[in-house]
Amino acid sequence: MGKTDYYDEYEIQVHLEPWSELESLFIPIPSKYVEEIYRSEDFLVLVGPQHPGSGHMRLIVRLHGDIIKEVIPDPGYVHRGMEKLAENRTYIQNIPLVERPAIMDAPNYNLGYVRAIEDALEIDVPERAKYLRTILAELGRIGTHLYDAAILAIFLGHSTGFMYPFAIRELICEAFVRMTGARVTTSFIIPGGVRKDVPENVLKFVYDATFEIERRLKPFERIFIHNPTVFARLRNVGTLSKEDAIRYGLVGPFLRASGVEYDVRKVEPYEVYDRLDWDIVVADECDSYYRFLVRVNEVSQSLKIIRQCIKDIPEGRVISEQISENGKEIRGELFDKLANVVLPKGEYTTLTEAARGSLIYTLVSDGESNLPYRLRIVTPGWLYLRGFMESLKGGRLADLQAIYGSFGYFPPEADR
């Protein structure tokens, strides 16, 4: 199609054939499918890879009028080959690596990996370390839920709903800084405990911060959660029934929002979750609003857990005797003690409840090398992608953003 003959006549030209330049662009669907859509009354819209959500991902949306008929995801724009990278690093060097998929949720990712090593080496973790790990994991969960709430708000065009959670999240970051020394990717949990003991005054700060978070969530609740426009946008949108949610393999808060009472922290308790008093948040309404509300209520459950942990935390060492004689700090001997760890031959799998759902680590060791033979990470984002795509069907184009936000889909997490 030359330039001149297109402009000479002022008439609308409908290009039934895809333009020749477009053929060179990569779209992960057969060109026949594209041509079929061009010939029918449907409309193909490519959402992304750049869009105002979190990370990069392309959605190929087939529209009939304003109604979504089919959505084909094109993930992988932020794939970093994490599993392959892990095969060339020692077990201890992998800790900062495996935290990277979901930066705000780093403690949960850290915890799952470290527990796989501890399973293999049969290390008993001291009580105080278990409590500290639980506090960190729950702080990470609150941070992630706030982050997702902010992204949902900006998807709905609500800029105040975006700013408030990010401002509240600063308290989580500050708690991380005081406990571990880093704002997001803390790398604080090591096989056999945590890097160093957390002093009493810092735990006091975290305890106070939980109340401050609760106080600051009130205006957010007023302006965003109970906002009639937000309710109108999310209620009865992207509904997934209980059966569908199980069939498409949803995980975490999204599964619980569809009425399935499943939480790894209750089913296979790790750390000190079985000793604490908290509830699984479940909703039966199955739509986007309740997917969001379940996570809002999980924030208050997490705050409850953190307060209990800080009240109950025992004195004592934070690093197991099997790792170090000094039970209070690993500094100066981290590499001496842990760099040449060799796992016994076998396959070790752990299941962790990360903020967005079940996180699976499988560590395969050949029993000779100090590098893992294979590390398999299955992130919650990857698990609920199918359910996310199914829930989009039948919605309107404007619902795509609302459902995207309600799932808190985070491409770096899913792509690893």
Partner 1 sequence: MDVIGIDIFGIVSFLFNIFKSNMLNIPLLKPLIDFLMGIPILNLIVALVLWRPFFGVVILPGLTGLMLYLLWIVYFERKLAARVQWRVGPIEVARPLRGAIQALADGIRYFFQEVIVHREAHTPYFVQLPILSFIPILLPLAFIPAGAVVGIRTPYALPLTVAFISLIPIFVIAIGWASNSRFAFIGSMREAFMYFAYEIPFVLAAISMVYVYGSGDLYVAVEKQTIPGILLNPLAFIVYLIVMLMATSRLPFEIPEADQEIAFGPFVEYSGILFGLVMVLAYEKLYLMSLLFVILFLGGWSGVEIPLLGDLVAPLVLFIKAVVVISILVIVRAVYARYRLDQAIRFGWSNLFGLSVASLIFGIMVGWLM
Give contact residues for partner 1 (rule: CB under 8 A): 3, 7, 10, 43, 45, 51-52, 66, 153-161, 163-164, 167, 223-224, 227, 229-230, 232-233, 396-401
CB of 132 to partner 1, least distance (A): 31
Residues 6+ apart with CB under 8 A from 7: none
For strand 189-190 and strand 357-365, is the pairing parallel, antiparallel, or unpaired?
A: unpaired
Cα separation values, 86 from 60, 102, 232, 238, 273, Å: 32, 16, 45, 37, 29
- Closer to partner 1 by Cβ: residue 51 or 89: 51
Toward partner 1, which CB reaches closer, 20 or 201?
Answer: 20
Provide the minimum distance between the beta carbon of 396 and partner 1 in the complex, in angstroms, as a whole number. 6
Tokens of residue 371, six digits:
């590098």
DSSP state of 23: G
At closest approach, how far in Å is the CB of 51 from partner 1? Answer: 8
CB of residue 18 to partner 1, shortest distance in Å: 13
Would you say 156 or 310 has its CB closer to partner 1?
156
Q: Are 380 and 359 in contact (CB under 8 A)?
A: yes
Alpha helices in 122-251 (DSSP H): 127-155, 159-180, 200-220, 228-234, 242-247
The Cα 163–Cα 242 span in angstroms is 33
d(CA 309, CA 240): 35
Task: Identify which of residues 267 and 398 has a Cβ nearer to partner 1 in the complex.
Answer: 398
Residues 408, 414, 415: CA angle, nearest 5 degrees:
140
**Closer by beta carbon to partner 1, 28 or else 219:** 219
Nearer to partner 1, 113 or 164 (CB): 164
Nearer to partner 1, 220 or 348 (CB): 220
Of 139, 203, 134, 197, the C-alpha closest to 170 is 139
Contact in structure between 68 and 395 (CB atoms under 8 Å): yes
In the complex, the smallest distance separating the C-beta of residue 267 from partner 1, rounded to whole angstroms, is: 36
With respect to partner 1, which residue has the nearer C-beta, 165 or 327? 165
Choose among 377, 284, 393: nearest CA to 83. 377
